[in-house]
Structure 1
Amino acid sequence: MNGEQPALAHIVAGELEVEYADVGPSTGPAVLLLHGWPYDLHAFDEAAALLADAGYRVLVPNLRGFGGTRFLREDAARNGEQAVLATDAVAFLDALGVADAIVAGFDWGARTANVLAALWPERVRGQVAVSGYLVGSQAANAQPLPPAGELAWWYQFYFATERGRAGYDRYRDDFARLIWETASPQWRFDEATFQRTAGSFANPDHVEIVIHNYRWRLGLADGDPALADLEDRLAARPPIAVPTITLEGDANGAPHPDAASYRDVFTGPYEHRVATGGVGHDLPQEAPQAFADAIVAVDRMARDGSARAVAEGARDV
């Protein structure tokens, strides 16, 4: 494992041309890694190298609005709601001919992993979700939090204004650096690490996707009517039965739920782990070994479950 930057490829998937890394043996079991905001696929460089060394095929796309991922049509809606990020992931797997994968992520990526596991469980052998169950809805987000909770979401309210849109557009890098520092207060990332990811924020659709994502959450922007059924299903807080490991850093400075609040949602094989040593919000980049270990462990959970199912089926014959 060396954590070197992987070579990037491009593939047409749904309404996007997706930029992605594909590391490890092509015949290995697939792992799909999904980043959040304000991060990019480089958050997984070291973890992906570890998994590739362990024999996995690791697929790491840049989300819509990040890096070299582009819309195929200029008139396509720059939609950032939770359901569209999941349909992007399904289209990406389809384009690569990948039937199923272990899906893992943090921030937006953990939410997308949750959505995939809840709505397309046949595509998800297991999941690793940093900060647990993050599926939301406009109705849930309409409920006020105590003042301290609202303070933690200050940028969401900033983005609700045109001043916020203009400010984010003008100060993309400064904004991202501030979020990195506050969400991971003990992470001493160097300038090269930050700049490697900051280039992804120059994507021409980046601001529109980010602003729509947060405005949609507050009910200030409409979603795609074609995704309304999916959003209705997600608003019901669907359970997740696929093997799951949730992770949390012991120094996560970003808003995140307490692990006890989502335990009941995971109805299949489940484990919760805490990464210690001052690990913040960007857990895959700050603690790549712990992240990779969780993926290997959830894969083992899935394999053990499949073996038991086969054995039980044989006994029933």
Structure 2
Amino acid sequence: MIPAATTSVGSAGLGTLHTVRAGVLDVAYFETGPAEGPAVLLLHGFPYDVHSYVDVAPQLAAAGMRVIVPYLRGHSPTRFRDPATPRSGQQAALGADIVALIDALGLPRAVLAGYDWGWRAVNIVAALWPDRCASLVSVNNYLIQDISTAAQPIRPDLEAGFWYFHYFATERSRRGLTANRRGIAEVIWRRNSPDWYFDDTLLDRTAEAFRNEDYVQVVIHSYRQRLGLAPGDPSYEAIERQLARQPDIPVPSITLDGEADGNFSATDGSASAAHFTGPRTHRRVPHAGHNLPQESPAAFAATVLDLARPAQPQLHRLS
């Protein structure tokens, strides 16, 4: 383990900002809570950042958990260590990054929780490295993709919500995302979370993470690769082969659907139930959109803490 470098920078409840060498990255992460407490990693999505957990982290820390909130690859201030490393945004890379971070921090295992890109990452670790995952909180159920099926269409209303998938398939999008990182995020936020009020200050704070020099490249590759329009990084080929089989998740899990998610309609969780072979509970959170931890932090924090208690699979509706 390489000791983490520490700065005095804090961010409204997230704790202290650290950097640690983890795999191909120097990962920047906030940490709060007692060092001896059970570890929980909170993974953000796109186009969001660590501030999705700004109100969740203090609640978990107050309950005695060691809370770690990393910036994902392509998001400042996380950096690639080698200029020659492909700036991949593929699912296998996101999962491998989290395992590398767990190892770098010397954690035997951790509770993993995430949404959007973080949802993909925590699903992958829980499925392929279940010994590193104590338990799982997954917004929008199960998301491990068989890339060979990427060309299959989905319902037109869902395709409309994923307009940015198709936009990022064009070269025009590379210039657009470079010039309009904050503006594109704002459009996606409003579509993803129609009931969520956010102001310019909140959006500006998150948009600072998009200033990373690799942000555009990582984002463009993420969406092109998952649509089968770009090859993956060869170093992750073995992991992608495993993911193509859509492996099951054997760890204790709670899945969440926001009832006001503009892209993913809330369900009863039954469609993905076969992928969860360990104890699994599914819950619905009213008024929450796609950025569920930031929109309903009390419900999200309560879900993480509930994993410490045995639960039988059932449908909940959280207030």
Return the match for 1:218 from 197, 207, 227: 227
2:44 aligns to what? 35
2:5 aligns to what? none
1:15 aligns to what? 24
1:96 Cα deviation after fit: 0.7
* Identity within the alignment, %: 47
CA contact (8 A) 1:47 1:291 kept: yes
Query: Which amino acid is 2:190 matched to?
Result: E
1:178 Cα deviation after fit: 0.8
Does residue 274 in structure 1 map to residue 275 in structure 2? no
Return the match for 1:260 from 250, 253, 270: 270
CA contact (8 A) 2:40 2:111 kept: yes
CA contact (8 A) 1:40 1:67 kept: no
Return the match for 2:186 from 149, 153, 177: 177
Measure the CA separation in 2 of the matches of 1:196 and 1:72.
25
Return the match for 1:54 from 33, 47, 63: 63
TM-score normalised according to structure 2 size: 0.91
1:5 Cα deviation after fit: 4.6
For residues 94-120 of structure 1, the C-alpha deviation after alignment (integer angstroms, 9 at most, x for no partner) is: 111011000000001011111000000
Measure the CA separation in 2 of the matches of 1:225 and 1:40.
27
Gap regions ≥5 residues in structure 1: 305-317
CA contact (8 A) 1:102 1:299 kept: no
1:267 Cα deviation after fit: 1.1
Q: Give the 5 Å matches for 1:1-317.
A: 4-255=13-264, 258=267, 259-276=269-286, 278-301=287-310
1:256 Cα deviation after fit: 5.9
Larger displacement relative to structure 2 (64-73 or 6-15)? 6-15
Structure number with the higher helix fraction is 1
1:150 Cα deviation after fit: 1.8
CA contact (8 A) 1:3 1:49 kept: no
Measure the CA separation in 1 of the matches of 2:285 and 2:155.
27
CA contact (8 A) 1:6 1:45 kept: no
Larger displacement relative to structure 2 (219-228 or 170-179)? 219-228
Instruction: Give secondary structure in 2 for the equivalent of 1:299.
Output: coil
Query: Which amino acid is 2:279 matched to?
Result: P
CA contact (8 A) 1:3 1:47 kept: no
CA contact (8 A) 2:14 2:54 kept: yes
The number of residue pairs the alignment matches comes to 301
Superposition CA RMSD, Å: 1.6
For residues 207-253 of structure 1, the C-alpha deviation after alignment (integer angstroms, 9 at most, x for no partner) is: 00000000000111111222112111111111111000001111000
Gap regions ≥5 residues in structure 2: 1-10, 313-319
Larger displacement relative to structure 2 (144-153 or 130-139)? 144-153
Query: Which amino acid is 1:123 matched to?
Result: R
Larger displacement relative to structure 2 (229-238 or 120-129)? 229-238
Instruction: Give secondary structure in 2 for the equivalent of 1:94.
Output: helix
1:45 Cα deviation after fit: 1.2
Instruction: Give secondary structure in 1 for the equivalent of 2:308.
Output: helix
Query: Which amino acid is 2:277 matched to?
Result: T
